[in-house]
Amino acid sequence: MRGGRRGRLGELGRAIPTLLVAVCLLDTALRFAPIDPLTFRAWEALTPYRPSGAAFQPNRRYQTNRSYGDLTAIGNLRSLRRYRAEAFTTDVLGFRNAAHVLGSPVDAILVGDSFAVGVGVLDDETLASRLSEPGDCRIYNAGGEAPGAGPDRILALARHLHMRHRLVIRLYSEDSEVPDIPTAWAMTTRRLVVGAPADARRLFGRLRGILTVSPLKILAERAWKTLEDDRILPNREAGYVVRGTLYNGDTMLFLTSRVKRAYERREAAAGYWKWLGDELRKEGFDLLLVLAPGKYTVYRPFLVSAGPVGPAADDYLERLERESRAAGVSVLSLAPVFRAEAARSMADGKYLYWPDDTHWNARGVALAAGAIREQWPRLGTLCRDEPLLRAQKP
Amino acid sequence: MLFNSFAFLYIFLPITYLVFWHLRGKSPRYVWLALSGYAFYSFWNYKFCALMLLSTVVSYLAGLGLLRWQDPVRRRLCLAIPVAADLALLGFFKYANFAVRNINEVSSWLGARSTLPLLDIVLPVGISFYTFHTITYIVDAYRRVITPTRDFAKFAAYVSFFPQLVAGPIVRFQQIERDFETVDRADRTADVNLAWSFFVLGMVKKVLIADTIGAVIDPALARYAELSTLSAWLCVLGFTYQVYFDFSGYSDMAVGLGHLFGFRLPQNFNSPYQATDVAEFWRRWHVSLTSFLRDYVYLPLGGSRGSRLMTARNVIITMVLCGLWHGANWTYVVWGLYTGFVVALHQVISETWARLPLWTRRVGTFGHFVVGLAIFRSTGLDMALSLLGAMFAWRGGTGIVGMKVLAVALCVAAASAHWGPNTFEMRHRWSPAWVSGLAALFGACLFVLYGSRPAPYVYFQF
């Protein structure tokens, strides 16, 4: 058995390393190719190569008619996909705005996660666009930086904008974690990143994308997931998603981790929001915190089989709203509006969230924008008004 | 870092290989092997490198002591201290919380109100293997089977040699010392084809057979209470082949990687499913562990030198320890008791057993292992009882998703395991057509590695 003769065994000793090198080179080469055709929505296409400090690749236009929900992708549930159009435009700073927004006076900056950015909706259906609609208001959409931009990033961004009024609207979605107050070291690091030359940040983003995104892997995963269809092979991803049935018989998907979380009591601390408000106030900015309910919070009462909710495990947003208000933060919760509207519109088979996605749809975004304007009328007058008065309460 | 990961295949292995063969002389190669072993280990958790270093240093110093001192008291100290240190490490990280849980259960049963808090412990991967490496080194040095080395780099390279670091085989210093001695004269090209042959076959066993079976049975076993009798048997049978192809595949890859660096690691699986009695089975299964237990536990306990009852006791103690080695769970203890009892029973009826037809003995030997694995695979005693209940009392229930794939995988696995040669029996002289076939299979493995989530080796958890 001991070591073979080179002549006859030599083939395998060359063939396998050659194969490994070939696949490695192919993998590397494909990393330089555009990944848009391999993605199902803008988020996947535009975030991996984003420069540091930006949410997306700058100056990009992503358009597809075959976008579908993240939950069907996470749970590999092809049959439950709902295809839709998505048009996604980014500006020179790497945020989801039309190019002309940068040239105009800006009244407020909207920051937050993917709920603020808008997922599965067209550019003119995002929350920033809806809030800008009624008059001359201009809301700059700076959403997309998970878990949310800190004051340093917001202020750095504001320096690039022509700010007519100094207002920051921070959308906090219930499904995400409240960020920790960063340490001095973390703040210094962030400032260094934000202050780095644009070319260096772009190069870093490009390198990060090349290192982390493998088109070959995406293709292989797609092929493999086709096999894991619960017929040929068990669908191992299905457990990440819960299929709920509403009273009207429609199917609604939820992320399993979010469903589990609904039955746990979460700490509703306002420390971060107070700190953020104070930091912004030092630079003359006001903060409005908007609390967006998660999909399960809104639709759980309408599910045929919803698990029991433990004592006080269900009022996270209400507690967070109370705590934040007590800490002097201007805060507005969208939960009551969404619950009421969900009950009303479900009878017509209309929803506020995509049934196959964690995010709200265009109807939900419009409702959120309407609720913010209605419950915080100051925003409506802001755009025609003198600079905003401080610390207004909704 | 797994052998079947791209970080290993594209980065770690090429760098380690090229630098190793670029270096000349023993010491640089020892140092490089030791460093690469620590780098490999740090991919799991760099903090645990300190534990491995501690175990290495203590055993190395004890080895020097055994070289220097001849009086029995000092030699016994040189034996006891490192072995105790290794067992303490193993005991703390692997069994502390198991002990706490059981103490709490007993005290609660006795009516005590307070409970001990569970410790926040993460089991360092591979600790069961590298501590056994150092134990064999010290015990063999104490018994004068080997001469301890004065070269720390050499010893560190032996303990942290990455192919066998995290899941064995448990290589004794004696088995690999010669290769370490001649490491400076090793020929890079001599075994390269043999090395890749082992590696490819191991990868195919792991990725295409074991992981495919696992992809079907793992979701089914997660719903064990709903399984029908047929499904329960198929799941346990599937696990029987999964664990064999997983671990023997890993061992083959380790052997292949050893050859790439000029080291011949010992055989760990010798076609165990072709064994005709349980004693033979355990001589063929996880050879490096069972021989360790034989030489360092069973024989010191008295082996088969005493009465039948004493022999049975020794066998059962050894197998229970074997079970506990696999993990801190009562299922492993019960599995060890069951296996020990079967081996002891075989010693009583061995003559009668030998007169049975060959196929009966093979099926019986294989069957005992299958039943044992129902306990072994279970996460708790309730699952074990449920699985065994489903297997031995007819009941309806849910089927298995992916039955066709499972059937094909089981047929391939069974044909290979029961009738095929093992990798050490093969000649590894492949014709161009076979080379193409193996390359295609390796390509299929790469596709699976790209497309699916990496499946850790079953034995990593031990």
pLDDT in tens, B202-242: 999 999 999 999 999 999 999 999 999 999 999 999 999 99
- Please tell me chain A's helix, strand, coil percentages from 3-state DSSP, rounded to the nearest 5: 45, 15, 40
Residue of B nearest to A215 (CA): B450
More confident residue, B398 or B361: B361
- Identify the pLDDT of residue A7: 47
Residues of chain B numbered 204-233 and touching chain A (CB < 8 Å): 215-216, 219-220
B110 confidence band (pLDDT: 50, 70, 90): confident
Q: Determine the distance in angstroms separating the CA of B153 from the nearest CA of chain A, rounded to an integer.
A: 27
- Identify the pLDDT of residue B134: 93
Chain A residues touching residue B200 (CB < 8 angstroms) = 12, 16
CB atoms within 10 A of CB B113: 6
Q: Residue written as tokens 């809301």?
A: A139
What is the percent of chain B where pLDDT is above 90? 76
Mean per-residue pLDDT for A132-156? 77
What is the percent of chain B where pLDDT is above 70? 99
Dist. CA B138–CA B132, nearest whole Å: 10
| A73 pLDDT more than 80 | yes
Q: Determine the distance in angstroms separating the CA of B373 from the nearest CA of chain A, rounded to an integer.
A: 23
Kind plus residue range of the DSSP H or E element containing A363: helix A362-375
Dist. CA B153–CA B29, nearest whole Å: 9
| B432 pLDDT more than 60 | yes
- Identify the pLDDT of residue A308: 59
Distances A70 to A24, A42, A57, A60 between C-alpha atoms, Å: 29, 11, 20, 21
Nearest CB to B405; choose among A1, A223, A232:
A232
Task: Give me the catalytic one of B259, B326, B346, B368.
Answer: B326
Distances A138 to A102, A106, A165, A393, B262 between C-alpha atoms, Å: 10, 5, 10, 21, 70
- Identify the pLDDT of residue B388: 95
- Identify the pLDDT of residue A133: 77
The reply to whether residue B191 touches residue A3, judged by beta carbons under 8 angstroms, is: yes
- Identify the pLDDT of residue A148: 54
Q: Which residues of A touch B (CB under 8 A)?
A: 1-6, 8-13, 15-17, 19-20, 23-24, 27, 214, 216-217, 219-225, 228, 230-234, 236
| A384 pLDDT more than 90 | no
Ranking A295-309, B247-261, B360-374, B444-458 by mean pLDDT, the lowest is A295-309
Mean per-residue pLDDT for A98-105? 79
- Identify the pLDDT of residue A149: 67
Dist. CA B440–CA B448, nearest whole Å: 12
Mean per-residue pLDDT for A205-209? 91
Mean per-residue pLDDT for B35-62? 92
Chain B residues touching residue A23 (CB < 8 angstroms) = 443, 446
A383 confidence band (pLDDT: 50, 70, 90): low
B31: contact with A, CB 8 A cutoff = no
| A2 pLDDT more than 50 | no
- Does residue B326 carry a catalytic annotation? yes
| B294 pLDDT more than 70 | yes
| A391 pLDDT more than 60 | no
How does the average pLDDT of chain A come out, rounded? 86
B433: contact with A, CB 8 A cutoff = no
Q: Determine the distance in angstroms separating the CA of B257 from the nearest CA of chain A, rounded to an integer.
A: 12
More confident residue, B5 or A22: A22
B259: contact with A, CB 8 A cutoff = yes
- Identify the pLDDT of residue B460: 64
Chain B residues touching residue A24 (CB < 8 angstroms) = 9-10
B367 confidence band (pLDDT: 50, 70, 90): very high
Q: Give ipTM to 2 decimals.
A: 0.88
Q: Determine the distance in angstroms separating the CA of B260 from the nearest CA of chain A, rounded to an integer.
A: 10
Sequence-ordered alpha helix ranges (H) in B261-307? 278-284, 287-293, 299-301
- Identify the pLDDT of residue A385: 56
Most confidently modeled range among A20-24, A174-178, A305-309: A20-24
Stated pTM of the model = 0.86
Nearest CB to A13; choose among B192, B215, B264:
B192
A134 confidence band (pLDDT: 50, 70, 90): low
| A287 pLDDT more than 50 | yes
